[in-house]
Structure 1
Amino acid sequence: MLRDDASLWWDGAAHVVDLAPRTWDRFKELFYVKYFPADVRGLLTREFMSLRQGDLTLAEFIRKFDRGCHFVPLIDRYAAKKLRYFMDGLRPTLRRDVMLMRPVSYDKATACAFQAVQVLRDIDFVVQRRGQQTQSSSQPQKKQFTGNVSEA
């Protein structure tokens, strides 16, 4: 569903451009020529090829990865390459955890990554709770003063 400028462009393109082969690939070709000139596509391709998760959340990384795949059809079309580039872009600790689950596809790898993130959150929560418990048990218990001189 096209909106705003893209809808106007498509209405005009339908009258001017030969749309005889009405395929998705033909539409994308025309759309990219209009909205993503070659230099912009080149820049987006380079950004994608160097994409790393870094400080991005997993959801942000996946969003950028999916967007970048549109501009690198050699990766998007080959499942093994797409999986490898995704895995290579993950943070090392997350990559290790996902690799242990042995995903066989990009979709499976993203699901495994979300599972791994949840496990890491659970571990952090437990460690923080233990730290709080250790901290409170290592502090000497103070007696409350009730006003009785013999307790002081």
Structure 2
Amino acid sequence: MIAERWIKSIEVIFTFMELQGAYRVRCATFLLTGDASLWLESASVSVNLQTLTWTCFKEVLYSKYFTKEVRSCLTREFMTLRQGDNSVAKFVRKFERGCHFVPLIVNDAREKLRHFIDGLQPVLRCDIRVAGPTIYAITVSRALEAEHDQKDIENDRQGKRPYQAPQQHHSLLSL
């Protein structure tokens, strides 16, 4: 995961700097430190860094630090992801982190939304479906609100939140 985060973070920089092709590889190799720079030295024996494309660089790096087995495991984890006892906020973080590994779902807005809703706790899922969700970001907000409402309901049931009558303004009545 560290390798994946590193790649994503420098790709943001590359996009900002408008770096393309060989310049990306040169910059990335310059930024490698520790074990990764040692790995690069040994990898350069079998790979010509001067002609290496960015896509090929990532494949070589991933073959060492972010293997297909790890990516496959993360894909399976995403496909079976459920909220369970987690808060909606924590579920959203896990969901969005896992989205990267299943582009067929994530690149289809309706499928992404369906997969997110299916992963919610049943009581929240019901509340969300009644609202007729169509946009992922709005659905996340509604899920967070529904979770808050469910906690309020539970607190009311347990008598943890005393009823407070609305305050009335008597200032106009005293005139």
Which residue of the partner structure matches residue 72 of structure 1? 102
Bigger Rg, which one: 1
Q: CA deviation at 1:128?
A: 2.3
Which residue of the partner structure matches residue 100 of structure 1? 130
Check if 1:8 corresponds to 2:32.
Answer: yes
- Given residue 70 of structure 1, which amino acid in structure 2 is its aligned partner? H
Distance 1:107 1:35, change over 3 A: farther
**8 Å Cα contact 2:155/2:161 also seen in 1:** no
Q: CA deviation at 1:122?
A: 1.6
Check if 1:18 corresponds to 2:52.
Answer: yes
Q: CA deviation at 1:58?
A: 1.1
Q: Give the distance between the partners of 2:82 and 2:107, measured in 1 at CA.
A: 20
Q: CA deviation at 1:106?
A: 1.6
Which residue of the partner structure matches residue 72 of structure 2? 42
- State the number of aligned residues: 123
Which residue of the partner structure matches residue 145 of structure 2? 115
Which residue of the partner structure matches residue 63 of structure 1? 93
- Given residue 63 of structure 1, which amino acid in structure 2 is its aligned partner? R
Q: CA deviation at 1:38?
A: 0.9
**8 Å Cα contact 1:51/1:65 also seen in 2:** yes
What are structure 1's unaligned runs of at least 5 residues?
Answer: 134-152
Q: Give the distance between the partners of 2:56 and 2:138, measured in 1 at CA.
A: 29
Q: CA RMSD in A?
A: 3.0
**8 Å Cα contact 1:76/1:82 also seen in 2:** yes
Distance 1:35 1:77, change over 3 A: farther
The partner residue of 1:81 within 76, 96, 111 is 111
Q: CA deviation at 1:33?
A: 4.7
**8 Å Cα contact 1:87/1:95 also seen in 2:** yes
TM-score, with length taken from structure 2? 0.59
TM-score, with length taken from structure 1? 0.66
**8 Å Cα contact 1:65/1:86 also seen in 2:** yes
Any idea what the Cα deviations from partners look like across 1:35-69, whole Å, max 9, x if unmatched?
Answer: 42111111111111111111111111111111111
Extract structure 1 runs of 4+ deviating beyond 6 A: 9-12, 130-133
Which residue of the partner structure matches residue 140 of structure 1? none
Q: Give the distance between the partners of 1:54 and 1:117, measured in 2 at CA.
A: 13
What are structure 2's unaligned runs of at least 5 residues?
Answer: 1-8, 11-30, 41-47, 164-175
